[in-house]
Amino acid sequence: MVVTRFAPSPTGYLHIGGLRTALFSYLWAKQNNGRFVLRIEDTDKKRNSQEATDAILKAFQWLGLKHDGEITYQSQRDEIYAKYIKQLLEQDKAYKCYMTKEELTELRETQMANKERTMYNGKYRDFDGVAPEGIEPVIRIKAPLSGEILVRDGVKGDVSFQAQDILDDFVIARSDGAPTYNFVVAIDDYLMGINEVIRGDDHLSNTPKQIVIYEALGFEIPKFYHVPMIHNSKGKKLSKRDGATDVMAYKEMGYKPEALLNFLVRLGWSHGDQEIFNMAEMQELFNPKDINKSASIYNTEKLDWLNAHYIKNSSNNELAELLTDYDLVLTSHDKKEILLDAIKDRAKNLQEMADMAKEILSTPTSYDKKAVKKAFKDESIPILNTFGAKLSNSESCHLPTDYHSLMQEVVDEMKIGFGKIGMPLRVALLGKMTGPGIDVVMAVIGKDETMQRIANAIAANS
Ligand code: GLU
């Protein structure tokens, strides 16, 4: 069974890069009827926070990414790690190192002065003397001193590291007993049954160290996929300004979860030239073998395009429900179908859609000066009055076409062009020249509100 994981360190919000590796891991597990587990890497007490963990969980919930089973918190596993440290010490695969900070600094300075690689010198590796007093030792792993460590990576191919270039006997437990990062990752991946690790390639340099731990403990090494980073359009690492922000900020900006997921699955992965993938398709088609070898480029226009696509194809009921998060309650509005049909093709995001709807639903309190000058002339007043009178007598104005017919009657009777009524009416209804069809606006706001807006506009502009 394929078991993948997402293993965030809760030091801040869930960002777009983290979410992408989570999505890849999720999809690959689902496709294989496997498990996708969540491990919170909260060993660094100074930098971790419960809020950050909550923010990650909230983002998962918003996106509908469900992890399997209980969440594993590394902070609750000290005993497990201690057990393996003890085992490695007993097997002479790890040892206590009593080197003081001063000694280490001196060693580093000498190495630097001699232009050598700065590394631990193995002083206590095979030490059998009397331990110096008053020093709490750190525990170091006995790493191989030579030979190669091969990372068989599903994205990058075989990546070979020379032991003497990259390893020294790195610390697996600090003097206070706290186990270190690469040690606990290897232990947990093994104990949690994780056999396919998909993560950012910023972790590639950790992998040989983790392999040393796997080998020391006789654990089977998982399959690795190191995913290249996401870059901005200038080819630089994604920064906050480019979108490396909190995933929940995408919700605030009005993106639909499926648009964001679709956007992310295509960052670094492709299937022919297909752009639109719903969740079922992603689960069916995603394969980490097809992850690109080079960095992917974050492109806001593409995200907007996908979002517009998903908005356009959402049911009005769903949209009405979603828009409540943008301060717009339409759920029981009797004309919500007409309103949403009129704006769902035009909005890039839900926030914009809510703004468009609010513009239609609220009585203008001011009128764009240029629009008034251009379209609201003295001659417009009798035209609007004629229309208002017809509307007042009409019992059957409900649909946009009903309003359109009534406008047509005025045009025919007064022998004027359509613009002579359409333009001033638009200014009266919306206070400006832009917006959706005015027949739609009138159908949505209804007869009384339409007459009110015409009267207001005449009073304000004549
Ligand atoms: N906790 C690490 C991070 O947030 C990820 C560890 C891993 O994927 O192996 O960057």
Domains along the chain with CATH numbers: 1-67+228-313 (3.40.50.620), 78-227 (3.40.50.620), 315-357 (no CATH), 363-461 (1.10.10.350)
**CA 181 to centroid of ligand 1, rounded, Å:** 9
Name which of 305, 38, 21, 335 is nearest 155 in CA terms.
21
What is d(CA 303, CA 285) in angstroms, rounded to the nearest whole number?
20
Nearest 5°: phi and psi at 94? -145, 160
The predicted structure's pLDDT at residue 178: 94
The predicted structure's pLDDT at residue 384: 98
Ligand 1 surroundings by CB, under 6 angstroms: 7-9, 41, 185, 199, 203
249 CB burial (10 A radius; 0-12, 13-18, 19+): middle
Place of tokens 């300004």: 241
State pTM to two decimals: 0.92
Question: Which residue among 203, 206, 225 has the greatest number of ligand 1 atoms within 8 angstroms of its CB, and so is best to mutate?
Answer: 203
Question: Which residue among 21, 199, 213 has the greatest number of ligand 1 atoms within 8 angstroms of its CB, and so is best to mutate?
Answer: 199
Are 268 and 20 within 8 A, CB to CB? yes
Those residues whose C-beta lies under 8 Å from the C-beta of residue 400, and which sit 6 or more positions away, are 338, 437, 439, 440, 442, 443
**CA 228 to centroid of ligand 1, rounded, Å:** 14
Per-residue pLDDT of the chain (462 residues; tens, 9 = 90+): 999 999 999 988 899 999 999 999 999 999 999 999 999 999 888 888 899 999 999 999 999 999 999 999 999 999 999 999 999 999 999 999 999 999 999 999 999 999 999 999 999 999 999 999 999 999 999 999 999 999 999 999 999 999 988 889 999 999 999 999 999 999 999 999 999 999 999 999 999 999 999 999 999 999 999 999 999 989 998 877 776 678 999 999 999 999 999 999 999 999 999 999 999 999 999 999 999 999 999 999 999 999 999 999 999 999 999 999 999 999 889 999 999 999 999 999 999 999 999 999 999 999 999 999 999 999 999 999 999 999 999 998 999 999 999 999 999 999 999 999 999 999 999 999 999 999 999 999 999 999 999 999 999 988
The predicted structure's pLDDT at residue 428: 98
Task: Tell me how far CA of residue 362 lies from CA of 90, 120, 241, 322, 414, in angstroms.
Answer: 76, 71, 34, 20, 30
Helix ranges restricted to H, 218-299: 247-252, 257-265, 279-285
Question: Which residue among 13, 16, 41, 210 has the greatest number of ligand 1 atoms within 8 angstroms of its CB, and so is best to mutate?
Answer: 41
Those residues whose C-beta lies under 8 Å from the C-beta of residue 315, and which sit 6 or more positions away, are none
SS3 3: strand
Are 94 and 139 within 8 A, CB to CB? yes
**CA 137 to centroid of ligand 1, rounded, Å:** 27
The predicted structure's pLDDT at residue 331: 86
Q: Ligand 1: which atom is nearest the Cα of residue 21?
A: 8
